[in-house]
Structure 1
């Protein structure tokens, strides 16, 4: 019903029967007003849905259609060929495309959509085998659960001549890198890529074989026994709990506290052609992100109802709410508070930090997607090609000038250099400093280091 009402309002505006919202003079009129954005059915597409449903796009003079996509590759291809004006993307997608891993295209982002939001789930049988060796606290497994507990299970499979398989959503996804990070921190090699040899399987020397499965298909693939576990965003970990087919063992918040997750991506050619439109899109998304987090997540119950609609995520409200409203259910009945499992605006979540981009590039290098060593300068230069804090700042300053937001909502743009302070809240305790990517890479016992090549 809401979609029909909004469409009628759009037609009325175009016919001159309803006034088009007055646009602030700080940003020029949108060069293109009719837009189509793509997304995958995950709860972290929420800023797009909220910007649409709350009228933030319309207030910028933008008439947006949101369209679910079959998978991440289709979504990226449709942005590249112009069928989509922009999309909810994996943070690694603009970077991977720009450096030519997979599809070659210059994709940029000026908006980070969220922090955290993923989990790693294993089958019931695997969980029972892991659980036997886990320490307990108050009668429940002590968290965070490290991959050390999975290692004997994988070794037992190997002795029986079986292959241990896990799913992730895309080769340059956060899920791939988080799953690899967790496994390697527990002494399990998740495998290497060797594109210079024509091998993009990511399974060279692997103790655990990782493969791609689209997010909504994860629970069914696990239930069928094709994979023994997976890393995915919500609501597909909680879906496994509700169906009784698997147990989430760890969230990405526990692997890397407040890690960047999705971004809003557009082609550079599109951004160059429609600069005012781009800024206005980012303005609407910033407002949506703030709405999602404001007043201690007071709007999350309404957001859950929006996301549950079939045209957005299409999962039961109860399943979405299980992680969206400040808790996370691990083993059935083991519900624990995780207030920052989904962050959309707090902690400057929407700002496109260069250091976030560089972390993704280090993981591409660590696992061989980038075959050759690169100097530290290359990492920064690549981040600057893809991440566009200048566009973000223009949008934020316009919102401040219009009185819709305050300067305190944002980083100090005059002094911001794009780098977060060194971060140590990883599951293995290794410190990440985006200014020194090669020093960071050289700390890992498992993974390619400076000078290595398969």
Structure 2
């Protein structure tokens, strides 16, 4: 067993204890208690595991008869899971965490399955891009050097401020990865993205902001940019590539470049659902794991087939070429500047589907950094909340049953006997700040922009 500090030992004990108590890690999974299910999603390519589990018959293999339904926005989707009109859904990773915490909505939501890594980008309008370009180093062939940091945008934002004009940008939801990634990128370049102060009734997120961030649903991002209502946005695919195809904007950075192999969406269900239907929960997790494996197997050989499925109007509904631009291992920045980014969308590699506690802790650190968590919390508070929401015990039981049946290979998963739920310290951030999930408060204190221990608005 690898060396574990006391925090990690406690986390490992929690996982092992849950597995022993449930007696399902090495036992045959029973029949589903609920067979007919309805799952929700937003029209983004990272809903792919749900579509593939349906189209490839993995849900049916588990005795589950699933209906999949697109939702208008993230709030409607979350409310559907809470009120039971949806049995589960493709969710922003921050949604189950915030709901359990009671930010915005109070509900006990859990996730047994992380849906993907990476998959987002930040796009600016053509006009803003032209103003940024003089600030960006060029390669010998004249193309911009990537990653492009927000340092190149800062003089543009300062010019807007001098002229008394607000610099508006869009993100998809207050507790979305996109909000935190856009804030991270801006702050790393010295641009303040603003604070929240829910204890004062201010949930705008625009206190002291240099750039004003507001919510726009993902499919509406390109049109909102084209209308000039916002000057840039952070969103998942295919809505960055759509801006390139329409000739209205330029993606300047991907989330892979902001935080290499960052966790993105999760599959969310209520805690009540998991407790009432434990076999159903395990079986839907098995189906999603198999779908993720299929999406990444043989060096993404199945991606063109996946793109064809996702381009259907009942799923993402964007043109095949738009979706393929990022789903098949490339990403196009300026029109004609297409570069290889084989890990832009990761669905199974690098333990993408395992619900790591440290992933949840990172989201919580950003909620605290920007004021969505109003007061200091102890490190243990972060760990305890992460363990309420992220459920590696369910994931482990589902994965082990697939391994025992010969449907999966143990080498493709974490070592369940020693896994503690915390990734090793992560170093690949655009500002070179190292993230160690076992030290949330120490991490928060590293940033020059953002709340630190002892700070309160």
TM beyond 0.5: yes
- For residues 72 and 294 of structure 1, what CA distance do their matches in structure 2 show? 30
The alpha-carbon deviation at position 409 of structure 1 amounts to 1.6
1:378-416: CA deviations, max 9, x gaps?
000000000000000010011011110111121000100
Deviation of 1:451 (Å): 1.1
The corresponding residue for 2:440 is 437
2:79 is aligned, of 77, 80, 83, to: 77
Give 1:158 shift: 1.1
Q: Note the 1:6-45 alignment, pairs <5 A.
A: 26-45=28-47
Q: Which moved more, 1:25-34 or 1:342-351?
A: 25-34
Deviation per CA, 1:60-101, whole angstroms, max 9, x where unpaired? 000000000000000000000000000000000000000000
The whole-number CA distance in structure 2 between the counterparts of 1:426 and 1:243 is 30
For residues 154-233 of structure 1, the aligned pairs below 5 Å read 154-233=157-236
Alignment of 1:352 onto 2:358: no
Instruction: Supply the distance in 2 between the matched residues of 1:112 and 1:53 (Cα, whole angstroms).
Output: 20
How far is 1:25 from its partner? 6.9
Count of aligned positions: 431
| SS of the residue 2:272 aligns to | helix
1:122, distance to aligned residue in structure 2 (A): 0.1
Aligned twin of 2:131: 129
Mapped partners of 2:53, 2:302: distance in 1: 13
Consecutive unaligned residues of structure 1, counting only runs of 5 or more, are 1-23
Q: Which runs of 4+ in 1 moved over 4 A?
A: none
Q: 1:67 aligns with which of 66, 69, 72?
A: 69
Q: Deviations over 1:190-235 (max 9, x none)?
A: 0000000000000000000000000000000000000000000000
Which of 386, 400, 403 is the equivalent residue of 1:397? 400
CA distance in 1, matches of 2:249, 2:115: 28
Equivalences for residues 332-343 of structure 1 within 5 A: 332-343=335-346
> 1:230-309 to 2 correspondence within 5 Å?
230-309=233-312
What does residue 314 of structure 1 align with? 317
Q: CA deviation at 1:271?
A: 0.8
Cα deviations across residues 282-314 of structure 1 (Å, max 9, x unaligned)? 000000000000000000000000000000000
**CA shift for structure 1 position 132:** 1.4
* Alignment partner of 1:88 is 2:90: yes
Measured against aligned partners, the alpha-carbon deviations of 1:395-453 in whole angstroms (never above 9, x if no partner) come to 00110111101111210001000000001100000000000000000000000001111
Distance 1:298 1:406 in 2: 18
TM-score after normalising by structure 2:
0.94
